[in-house]
Amino acid sequence: MSTVAVNQGQVRDRKKKTLGKRLLKYWPLYLMLLPAIIYYILICYVPMAGVTLAFKDYSFRKGIWGSPWVGLRYFKAFFQSYDSMRLIRNTLTVGFIKTILEFPFAIILALMLNEVKNMKFKRISQTITYLPHFLSSVIIVTMLQRVLAPNTGFLNEIIGKFGGDPSTFFLMEAEYFHEILFSMDLWRNIGWDSILYLAAISGVDPALYEAAEIDGCNKLKKIWYITLPGIRGTIGLLFIMGIGGLLSSGFEQIYLLRTPGNMSVADTLDTFVVRVGLQGGQFGYATAIGLIQGIVGLILVVVCNKISKKMTEVSLW
């Protein structure tokens, strides 16, 4: 036992010396990394202490640590409320649209752009597609309101010219909400998301395409048998990371698109948390709901990562 202990101590000493040498040798790189580490500690880890609000009856006078514990009261209250199933259903629907339904479109756009040989046209196309990503949700929704306005909106004017009813108020109709959200979110993010896939495609060995061309493969076969398998790792990793947001619909877009007419499908957990937390002052209740979203997202990522690793050998860890 003493020999094993000595060997372990020697290994630890060697690791410490190696770490020290690396720190001295690459200190400029570690110095540049320091602001990022500080950022994540202050912005991402320190606020996690506020999760205790989910188990406390928070009082401004007593503070977080001085407020009394209430256990799982808020969790029970949420699942027993008549709104819980509606909110979860709406959130899952929006999460499915953003995480699953929109996912293939960025890959398809990247494949299409990769086939463009005219570099000037390719650069212009890329700029046009990812420019909306830099617009705020407020600007996009304002544009959408003008386009979909009854009678005077661009879409309603076209409908009127073809003999339809030009007075439809699309944003007030619950049946159009998911289609509007899908179109808006896809237009905003498809170009930006495709950049990662284009970068992955550029790493595929060109010799494989030359060999496939000699064998008589057309463009579709080269995409199916070379390009897609070549970026399988990138696709898998991005899907696993994205699946964690299935129970998070995003706040800005949904909040701005909500109207009295579509509230039945547009009210999600994210908007509910803001409403009961900031507007209603029920900080513990809102924190409990946010904690549920975080836990479910973590479970989804872990499960999806395990399944992906077993079936495709692609995983985050």
DSSP secondary structure string for all residues of 227-276: IHHHTHHHHHHHHHHHHTTTT---SHHHHHH--TTTHHHH--HHHHHHII
pLDDT for residue 141 is more than 80: yes
Domain 72-312 has CATH 3.10.50.40: no
pLDDT for residue 12 is more than 80: no
Res 17: pLDDT: 67
pLDDT digits (tens, 9 = 90+) for 26-46: 888 889 999 999 999 998 888
The CA distance from 160 to 120, in Å, is 39
Q: What Cα–Cα distance (Å) separates residue 246 from each residue in 96, 97, 103, 201, 269?
A: 6, 9, 12, 27, 12
Res 93: pLDDT: 93
Instruction: Locate 55 and state its tokens.
Output: 């188990």
Q: Where in the chain is the domain with CATH 1.10.3720.10?
A: 72-312
| Mean pLDDT for the stretch of residues 255-268 | 91
pLDDT for residue 16 is more than 80: no
Res 181: pLDDT: 93
pLDDT for residue 15 is more than 70: no
Res 6: pLDDT: 46
How far, in whole angstroms, is CA 272 from its chain's centroid?
Answer: 19
- Cβ neighbourhood burial of 272 (10 Å; 0-12, 13-18, 19+): buried
pLDDT digits (tens, 9 = 90+) for 57-87: 888 888 888 889 998 999 999 999 988 999 9
